[in-house]
Chains A and B, each alone.
Chain A
Amino acid sequence: MHLALFLIFAAFALAGAANLLLQRHPINSALSLIVVMSSLAVLYLLLGAEFLAVAQIIVYAGAIMVLFTFVVMLLNEGVEERTHGSRVAKALGFPAVVVILGVIATVILQSEKYLGQVSLGDGVTTTQELSGVLFRDLLLPFEVTSVLILIAILGAVALARKDGQ
């Protein structure tokens, strides 16, 4: 059951990420990114992070991606062009990416014996435990992030408004 769920949603995530790379219209890329984020939410649930799974759906697949699709529709930019820069990026980028993946995968596979296993009966991290740590031990960072969000809102408004208003 766990294996089947993992394989299905890992395949969804990978297919969405591949589609993000292959599509040439930004709106299609944005919609496939929503697929990736939703399937990652299911994987969080399999790992017992129930609060993060819901937050992933609400914050990432909901709020952030709505912002993205909104901007794509607002700017109405159309399909991206193939340029000289994209050919250079492909020629240099793909070997570099393969090397990065090879290094990370080697490290993971070498340290496999130190890593644990995941099964469905592992129990979930309840929101109560999470909020205990967040609001008792890490109260100051939490409050600092709320100030950060406020500054981000002000910055977004200041940057996006037209000059002379």
Chain B
Amino acid sequence: MIIPSSWYLLLSAVLFTMGVAGFLIKRSLITVFMSIELMLNAVNLSFVTFAHDWHAVKGQIFVFFVMMVAAAEAAVGLAIIIAIFRIRGTLNVDQIDLMKL
């Protein structure tokens, strides 16, 4: 059974746009952050698909690095969310609209 790799790319595109939609619609800071993770995952899927298409191992290495950077980003981002919640007492993005805490 053979399926075209454009199906994987379309799935990745749909997941990415759902991430963008979540980023715009959700009002909770932590869910907005989860939408960013969803976008990263969607892009990873297209990286793996192209790596398979062109028989290039380096495409998979890219995904590996994206995972590492995402782990670092999640640690720092969640620490920032905790700090904001401690100072502001809310995670609603409409109320966190000043540059200073």
Contacts and interface: CB of A to CB of B under 8 A. Distances in A.
Interface in B56-85: 57-58, 60-61, 63-65, 67-76, 78-83, 85
B19 to A, nearest CB: 7
B6 A85 contact: no
B68 A71 contact: no
Given A40-B45, A112-B6, A1 B17 contact: no
A115 B27 contact: no
Q: How large is the interface on A (under 10, 10 to 19, 20 to 34, 35 or more residues)?
A: 35 or more
Interface residues of B, number: 70
B15 A20 contact: no
B17 to A, nearest CB: 4
The majority secondary structure among interface residues of chain A is helix
A156 B16 CA distance: 27
Contacts of B93: 85
B3 interface: yes
Interface string A37-79: 1001001100111011001100110011001100110110100
A17 B52 contact: no
